[in-house]
Amino acid sequence: MPQSLLEQLRNYTTVVSDTGDFEAIEKFRPTDATTNPSLITTAAQMPQYQPIVDEVLKEARNELGEGASDKAVANLAFQRLAIAFGRKILAIVPGRVSTEVDARLSYDTEKTLEQARSIIAQYDQAGIDRKHVLIKIASTWQGIKAAEILEKEGIHCNLTLLFGVHQAVACAEAGVTLISPFVGRILDWYKKDTGKDYQGADDPGVQSVTKIYNYYKHFGYKTQVMGASFRNIGEIKELAGSDLLTISPHLLGELESTQETLPRKLDPEKAKSMNIDRIPMDEAIFEKMHDEDRMAHDKLKEGIEGFSEALLKLENLLADRLAKLEQRTPATV
């Protein structure tokens, strides 16, 4: 029987699951898993995960005491919830889980460092080796600088909301472990901006990740490329060979049920022989390139705002859940 696209993809690329749903992770058995505020918010509302949410809320209440407001307890709980999900995910996958720093801190290096260290300390306390954890940080200049410091401390980072080559170059120069260029969101922007549809290798998101991958391999950077945010399996097929790809359960299912030949599209050896110019990078160059790249500028801003809104929604959900929980069991919470 011919192999599925998913089986063939695993020959070239580390397959990562992009979800907070443990059942989906168990079904597809990826090597790694990623989450983000939107995915955690969605998972936290699923009935089967309410016991995890309730346990985190109880722990936060006990830590802060009866005098703390529901809002303060919910705020602490939301920080702990992503780690609780991360620990559960690591009981399923053999590799790494990505846990995200609060998107509202994306332009503050010091506060990003503080929260990243707090996240890794909680994983340390749970007995989880740091090699299994990636701290997700938005690819602002301030976020990249925080990641550079964290990497030197042995804390591995996944730089997310990455749309432009300037962000990718800055991340590589900073020595981050992994970047997550957002393929589908790039496509969304170009479709809206031009009114055109794009397929296969013409997809602007595919072209962006291909360019970044070839740049990294040509110059021998250790930073790995993990394509993210896919809209269809055509994008995934065009990026077969990327170091990693993080894929939603829906598209993993489509790959698993499709049987056709999957050629490798990205190859480190081919990239080494390409004629590629090195891009110098510092803060001034980064900001200039960012201002000139309308797509990257728009999508980074939009992504940070979207994740921030998801976090606010999650905090409100947790506050409501806490109030109901304490009404039911006032003596034990």
Does residue 333 sit within a domain? no
Q: Which domain holds residue 307?
A: 5-328
- 224-245 residue pLDDT tens: 999 999 999 999 999 999 999 9
Instruction: Give the pLDDT of residue 333.
Output: 45
* Residue 332, pLDDT above cutoff 50: no
Q: Which two tokens stand for residue 120?
A: 């890794």
Active site residue 136: yes
Q: Output the CA angle 284-289-290, nearest 5 degrees.
A: 95
- Residue 114, SS3? helix
Is pLDDT at 277 greater than 80 in this prediction? yes
Catalytic residue among 136, 217, 237, 299: 136
The CATH number of residue 34's host domain is: 3.20.20.70
Q: How many domains, in total, are found in the chain?
A: 1
For residue 103, pLDDT over 70 is answered with yes
**Residues in contact with 266: Cβ distance below 8 Å, sequence separation at least 6, in sequence order:** 12, 210, 213, 214, 239, 240, 241, 242
The predicted-structure confidence for 306-328, as pLDDT tens digits, reads as follows 999 988 898 898 999 898 888 86
Residue-wise pLDDT for 30-77, tens only, equals 999 998 888 888 888 899 999 999 999 999 999 999 889 888 898 889
d(C-alpha 279, C-alpha 155), whole Å:
26
Predicted structure pTM score? 0.93
Give percent of the chain above pLDDT 70: 98
State both tokens at 273: 């022989």
Q: Which residue has the higher pLDDT, 162 or 316?
A: 162
Q: Name the average pLDDT for the chain.
A: 94
**pLDDT (0 to 100) of residue 107:** 98
Distance, CA of 146 to CA of 99 (rounded, Å): 15
Q: Which two tokens stand for residue 199?
A: 């397929």
pLDDT, residue 330, reads 52
The tens digit of pLDDT for each residue in 108-155 reads 999 999 999 999 999 999 999 999 999 999 999 999 999 999 999 999
